[in-house]
Structure 1
Amino acid sequence: MNNKIKTLVMITTFIFCRYILKYFWGDTWSEALLALDNQSHLLLTPARYLFIYSPLVLVANLLFKDVALTEILGLKIAGFQHYFLAAVACCLPMSIGYAYLSSELNLALSGIMVGSVYAGLFEEILFRAVLFGVLFRYCHLGFIPAALLSSVIFGFGHIYQGHDLMSAFAAFAITSVAGTWFAWLFCESGYRIWFPLWMHIFMNAAYGIFGMSGGAAGDLPGNIFKASSIILSLFYIHLLVRRGKKREITLLNLWKNQSTTSTKATLTTESI
């Protein structure tokens, strides 16, 4: 099976999962799980993600049998602690800024788990590691087409955060750009999902805990502090490159990934 057919199979499977399979979930399962978790969504949310997107992981694993599942999922353990600490440092100015701007403090465990931990965990593994990662690394699409495909779908999933046409478009545009940034972080972190995953979790947590308004698009003061975290993440990757890490995204693979073999992670924990 050539790469074009594998690309089509991956995209078709994702569309099936996201826009068709979710309707087979049914209200009965939701009602049962909500009753068990006392309407907190702590059980419902991960169950829905696993039910809806498991076929995507299964298809990716079947298409690329020679690649370890942990590689497809971006879940290699090496570097876990380093990326956690780096994400904390990058997101700290944003959290401090939001604390300064906000008069709210929402510390409900269910809200943090559902809105931050689950969102960061499942979205990064599914959208970045599996969908984008497979299209870029193994189907050999270029970074731009692979990132656009996964990021546009990611952006469509946040349109609901807009309260009118313009704000919905702003939410779509900003989250699409954010998806591309997360995809770049995934590549430049040695194809490990940990750094974008922790960044996603901590940024969502800061947004939710301090009750920042404006949805995904945010407002000007909040976006300034959000930008500080993005800039620090870019600086962190620059430091890794200065210390010898191979630059993964270059002009040579923006439109087509010319690699003839499955991309292997080149970053070691010693080089972080």
Structure 2
Amino acid sequence: MNHTIKALLLITTFIFCHYMMKEFWGDNWVSVLSDLDQQSALLLFPAKYLFIYGPLLVVATLLFKHESWYNVLGVDIEGFQRYLLAAVVCCTPMVIGYAYLSNALNLSITGIITGSIYAGVFEEIIFRAALFGVLFRFCRWGFIPAALISSTIFGLGHIYQGHDAISAVMAVAITTIAGTWFAWLFCECGYRIWFPLWMHIFMNAAYGIFSMSGGAAGDLKGNLFKATAIILSILYVNLLIRRGKPRQITLSTLFKKRPYFSSQHYKLATQNT
């Protein structure tokens, strides 16, 4: 089976999951799981994510059986702690800035888990690894077409955060750009999901804990502090590159098909960095 057919199968599966699987979910599961977790959504959210997007994860791993499932989904454990520490450092100025701007705290553990941890884990694995990552790494799409598909759908999923037409468009645009940035981090960090995942979790958590306003679009002051996290993450990746990590996103990989770059190749190339 050639790469074009595999890409079409993956995209078709994603469309089916994203738009059709919700119809099979059923209201009964919502009431049952909500009763079990006492309306906290701690069980409801992961169950719904896995039900809706489970077929995508299965198809992605079956299409590329020559690779381990954890490599296809970007969850190879190597780098887990290193990228956690890097994300903490990158997000610290933003957290301090939000604490300075905030007039209220929301320390709900349930809210942090459902709004930050679940969102970071599931959205990064689904949109960055299973959709973008497979199209870019294994189907040999260019970075821009692969990122546009995953990031645009990711952005459209945040349209509800706008309270009018203009803010809705801004929310979609900003989250689409954010999705592309997360995709870049995923590529440049060994095709492992940990760095964009931790960044996603910490940024969401800071936004929720300090009750920042403006939805995904944010406000001017809040966005200035958010920008510090983004800039520091870019500087971190460039530090890795200066230390010898091979750069993955170049002019030659933006639009054209690229040669397959396995996790083993990456480990060999970076073993001395």
- Give the TM-score normalised by structure 1: 0.97
Q: 1:207, 1:5 → 2: CA distance?
A: 41
What is the match of residue 65 of structure 2? 65
What is the match of residue 229 of structure 2? 229
1:15-34 counterparts in 2 under 5 A? Answer: 15-34=15-34
Kindly indicate whether the alpha-carbon contact (under 8 Å) linking 1:13 and 1:56 is maintained by their aligned counterparts in 2.
yes
Matched AA of 1:22: K
Matched AA of 2:67: V
Q: 2:166, 2:40 → 1: CA distance?
A: 31
Q: Alpha carbons of 1:267 and 1:169: their partners in 2 closer, same or farther (altered >3 Å)?
A: farther
Q: 1:18, 1:31 → 2: CA distance?
A: 22
What is the match of residue 94 of structure 1? 94
Q: Alpha carbons of 1:59 and 1:227: their partners in 2 closer, same or farther (altered >3 Å)?
A: same
What is the match of residue 210 of structure 1? 210
1:67-146 counterparts in 2 under 5 A? Answer: 67-146=67-146
Q: 2:163, 2:54 → 1: CA distance?
A: 32
Aligned length: 271
- Measured against aligned partners, the alpha-carbon deviations of 1:175-195 in whole angstroms (never above 9, x if no partner) come to 000000000000000101000
Q: 2:271, 2:85 → 1: CA distance?
A: 15
CA-CA distance at 1:67 after TM superposition: 1.0
Q: 1:271, 1:208 → 2: CA distance?
A: 39
CA-CA distance at 1:264 after TM superposition: 2.8
- Measured against aligned partners, the alpha-carbon deviations of 1:58-112 in whole angstroms (never above 9, x if no partner) come to 1111111111100011011111111000000000000000000001111111100
Q: 1:45, 1:258 → 2: CA distance?
A: 36
Kindly indicate whether the alpha-carbon contact (under 8 Å) linking 1:137 and 1:257 is maintained by their aligned counterparts in 2.
no
What is the match of residue 263 of structure 1? 262
Kindly indicate whether the alpha-carbon contact (under 8 Å) linking 1:245 and 1:267 is maintained by their aligned counterparts in 2.
no
Moved over 3 A (4+): 267-272
What is the match of residue 55 of structure 2? 55
Q: 1:271, 1:180 → 2: CA distance?
A: 29
- Measured against aligned partners, the alpha-carbon deviations of 1:236-270 in whole angstroms (never above 9, x if no partner) come to 001000111000111111002320x3533515786
Percent sequence identity over matched residues? 66
Q: 1:214, 1:123 → 2: CA distance?
A: 21
Q: Where does the alignment leave 5 or more consecutive residues of structure 1 unmatched? A: none
Q: Where does the alignment leave 5 or more consecutive residues of structure 2 unmatched? A: none
1:46 aligns with 2:46: yes
Q: 1:163, 1:258 → 2: CA distance?
A: 41
What is the match of residue 175 of structure 1? 175
Q: 1:40, 1:197 → 2: CA distance?
A: 23
| SS in structure 1 of the partner of residue 215 of structure 2 | coil
What is the match of residue 252 of structure 2? 252
Kindly indicate whether the alpha-carbon contact (under 8 Å) linking 1:240 and 1:271 is maintained by their aligned counterparts in 2.
no
Q: 1:262, 1:244 → 2: CA distance?
A: 16
Matched AA of 2:98: Y
Q: 1:174, 1:33 → 2: CA distance?
A: 33
- Give the TM-score normalised by structure 2: 0.97
CA-CA distance at 1:271 after TM superposition: 5.4
Matched AA of 1:136: F
Q: 1:75, 1:186 → 2: CA distance?
A: 11
| SS in structure 2 of the partner of residue 116 of structure 1 | helix
**RMSD over aligned Cα, in angstroms?**
1.2
